[in-house]
Structure 1
Amino acid sequence: MDIREIQNLIKFVAKSGATEVKLEMDDFKITIKTTNEEAESTTTYVQQVPVSTALPQASAPQPVAPTAPPEVDENAKYITVKSPIIGTFYRKPAPDKPVFVEVGSTISKGDVVCVIEAMKLFNEIESEIAGKIVKVLVDDSSPVEFDQPLFLVDPS
């Protein structure tokens, strides 16, 4: 029995609703146990506490603590350029060439902002927006994940 057959068996058992299946053959044994989601569900009871209807008693006024203004994310006004692939992030087309963009650089839609190497292929990453580079979020020659933020761009 190969791995695909075992995976298909696991999927079949999960769909069937069985909680445990044992399979014994000449040279191996397989036991597949699944959990029953319905059996593990919990019921939550909400109990209302009766509220006293007594008259409020006069007391000394309590000082009110000043509330801090809500924090505003300063990066909310910027657009994030994200990595479309997994690979190694490079700011330059070659080690002896200048970087594609610096903080403060003005870019147009379609301008190359970096290169990401994936499986020995160098993929030029083009900007999908026009604006000004505010921040570079990744160090040169660093590995990046899919959808990882690379740059902050001010579109105004």
Structure 2
Amino acid sequence: MSGPKTEAVALADIEALIADFQASGMRELHVRSGEFEIYLSTDASAPGLGAQAVAVRVEPIAAAAPAAAAPAPTTAPPVASAAAPSSLPDNAVIVRAPYLGTFYRAPKPGSPVYVDVGSVVTADTEMCLVEVMKLFTAVRAGLSGTVHAILATDGAMVEADQPLFAVIPG
């Protein structure tokens, strides 16, 4: 008798998650808890659970060059390891935030960070979490290489498409 009730509660939780996703304005959401995993997207062409990563935009730093022309901020950057796009190597690839949310470098407070400058990553490597409305999404590298710079502050709010990491392919 506990099986059907547990199954009904799980179904209700999934339905609530879907309703929250639809109301949030997010484009994609990937949740994993134990053996349960769900991927939601508003993009009909999204690859789904078989994909290597949550769909994040990665682009060579050369493509982001116009952003480097923006006026310099009047205050120091919030992260010591954050590198200005002009100081990154030409072959650096930027891993960007999938949507607005809070950026976390570690799975929970006090835990080691997912990656640091110098970490070797593969396309499937989890680099950070972005949280919105108590739902956490792992951002994966999307390419193989070495983390060159961390471009966001742990615990800070990030915007959709904001640069999070610079990775040197290889």
Change in CA separation of 1:73 and 1:102 when aligned onto 2, cut-off 3 Å: closer
Structure 2: stretches of 5+ with no match in the other structure: 1-85
1:65-118 alpha-carbon deviations (Å, 9 max, x no partner)? xxxxxxx86432100000111100000000021000000000011110000011
Matches within 5 A, 1:109-148: 109-148=123-162
Change in CA separation of 1:75 and 1:96 when aligned onto 2, cut-off 3 Å: same
State the one-letter code of the partner of 2:168. D
- Cross-structure match for 2:106: 92
- RCO comparison, higher one (Cα < 8 Å, 6+): 2
Structure 2: distance between partners of 1:88 and 1:99: 15
Superposition RMSD on alpha carbons, in Å? 1.4
Q: CA deviation at 1:151?
A: 0.3
Structure 1: distance between partners of 2:111 and 2:149: 21
Structure 1: distance between partners of 2:93 and 2:130: 20
Structure 2: distance between partners of 1:119 and 1:130: 30
- Cross-structure match for 2:97: 83
SS where residue 128 of structure 1 aligns? coil
State the one-letter code of the partner of 2:115. V
Matches within 5 A, 1:5-154: 74-154=88-168
Q: Post-superposition, which runs of at least 4 consecutive aligned residues in structure 1 deviate over 3 A?
A: 72-75
When Rg is computed on C-alpha atoms for both structures, the one with the higher figure is: 1
TM-score w.r.t. length of structure 2: 0.48
How many residue pairs end up in the alignment? Answer: 85
Structure 1: distance between partners of 2:87 and 2:127: 25
Which is helix-richer, 1 or 2?
Answer: 2
Q: CA deviation at 1:127?
A: 1.3
Change in CA separation of 1:76 and 1:121 when aligned onto 2, cut-off 3 Å: same
Structure 2: distance between partners of 1:155 and 1:91: 21
Q: CA deviation at 1:122?
A: 1.0
